[in-house]
Amino acid sequence: MRKILSMAVAIAAGFTLAGAGTPASAAEKLKIGFVYIGPVGDFGWTYQHDQGRKAVEKEFGDKVETTYVENVPEGPDAERVIEQLVRAGNKLIFTTSFGYMEPTLKVAKRYPKVFFEHATGYKRAANVSTYNSKFHEGRYILGQIAAKTSKTGTVGYIASFPIPEVISGINALMLGAQSVNPDMKVKIVWVNSWFDPAKEADAAKALIDQGADVISQHTDSPAAMQAAEARGVKAFGQASDMINFGPKAQLTSIIDNWAPYYIERTKAVLDGTWKSTDTWSGMKDGEVVMAPYTNMPDDVKAMAEKTEAAIKDGSLHPFKGPITNQKGELVVKEGAALSDKDILSMNWYVKGIDDKIPGQ
């Protein structure tokens, strides 16, 4: 019995040694890990992050080796997955959902020599950076286009969860719409899910049945676009270019382009210049990209392009004053603009939105 045991120990030790030997022999390669909230096949949020990962592989070729773990629930599971990625030898780890914030920080504390990048969070450490995109810049343009395109004067909005990112998106769209048509209405349906294609389609149909003729979404699947196409109304895509799903319906899409950031950060690690940073990039940096403006008259397209250029060169801020809230109080004065911090914690609607934020 003892003999068998000691043999087993010897074998196990052999495996461990072999395991330890592998990274040493491939020491040149930088191993990069990605943690995803959804499946890479969602054609939305996670899909776009994975496109960024592929761009890193393409850019650096043999110098890097990437791994990803998909469908990782937020919470204790995430901590375990991140820790495993560290132990597998990954030196740079991207955690791509808000709920990975605490798990990322916990693991980062234990492994100070590994660099972590957490998407959409606000807590940093010496080896933890945060990054996010200014999607609301794109939504301001959507609002303008919707106001020009809609015949019923009502834009439908499929919303996921009442968190600041979603609320600031609704507000940006409304401010854009009001800059064209002050009487523009928005109908909001909360589906309480990021990804449920059938429910998103149901929501789109409900909004269309109730008179919305332009559909906007803050959920991840192309179901709403497809429903809009089938019903002959217009829609905006989300995360990816969804023109394939709505060749006659899509006006444009807000595309999440993480590739520039992922390449930049990988390069920083390779060069040894990585520092903990807080990055909130937008259209200017190519992180928020508008899909081609389609299915609209030339004057609307020209307006959209002009607004896009103005946002890029900084002459237009989507949350520039004056902005009043639903109660009619002036929140942002003429000539001022909402600070990044205030946008990131937005929990109020602008005037003209006929809805209540759930839970308030």
Partner 1 sequence: MLDAAILGAVLASIVAAATTLLLASLGELVAERAGTLNLGVEGMMVVGAAVGYATAYGTGSLILGAIAAVLAGVMLSLVFAVLAVWLATNQVASGLATTILGLGIAGLIGSPFVGTRLDGAPELRIAGLTDLPVIGEMLFGQDAFVYLSLLLLAGVAYGLSRTRAGLVLRAVGENPVAAHALGHPVRGIRTLAVMFGGACAGLAGAHLSLAYTPFWASDMTAGRGWIALALVVFSAWKPLWLLAGAYLFGAVSILQLHVQGFGLGVPSQLLSALPYIATVVALVAISALKRGQGAPAGLGVPFVPDR
Lookup: tokens for 355 = 């809805």
The rounded distance, in Å, linking the Cα atoms of 157 and 224 is 10
Residue placing its CB nearer to partner 1 in the complex, 57 or 196: 196
User: Nearest distance from residue 191's CB to partner 1, in Å?
Assistant: 7
User: Nearest distance from residue 254's CB to partner 1, in Å?
Assistant: 16
Residue placing its CB nearer to partner 1 in the complex, 38 or 103: 38
Residue placing its CB nearer to partner 1 in the complex, 248 or 333: 248
Q: Count how many Cα atoms sit within 13 Å of the Cα of residue 292 in the half-sphere of its side chain.
A: 9
Residue placing its CB nearer to partner 1 in the complex, 63 or 231: 231
- Please report, as ranges, the residues that interact with partner 1 according to CB under 8 A: 38-44, 47, 71, 156, 187-193, 195-203, 205-207, 209-210, 221-223, 226-227, 230, 240, 244-245, 354-356, 358-359
Residue placing its CB nearer to partner 1 in the complex, 101 or 188: 188
User: Nearest distance from residue 353's CB to partner 1, in Å?
Assistant: 10
User: Nearest distance from residue 138's CB to partner 1, in Å?
Assistant: 20
Q: Where are the beta strands (DSSP E) in 89-209?
A: 92-95, 115-119, 128-133, 154-159, 185-190
For the chain, the distance separating the N- and C-terminal CA atoms, rounded to the nearest angstrom, is 66
Of 131, 165, 166, the closest CA to residue 281 belongs to 131
User: Nearest distance from residue 97's CB to partner 1, in Å?
Assistant: 15
The rounded distance, in Å, linking the Cα atoms of 349 and 66 is 41
Helix %, strand %, coil % of the chain (to 5): 45, 20, 35
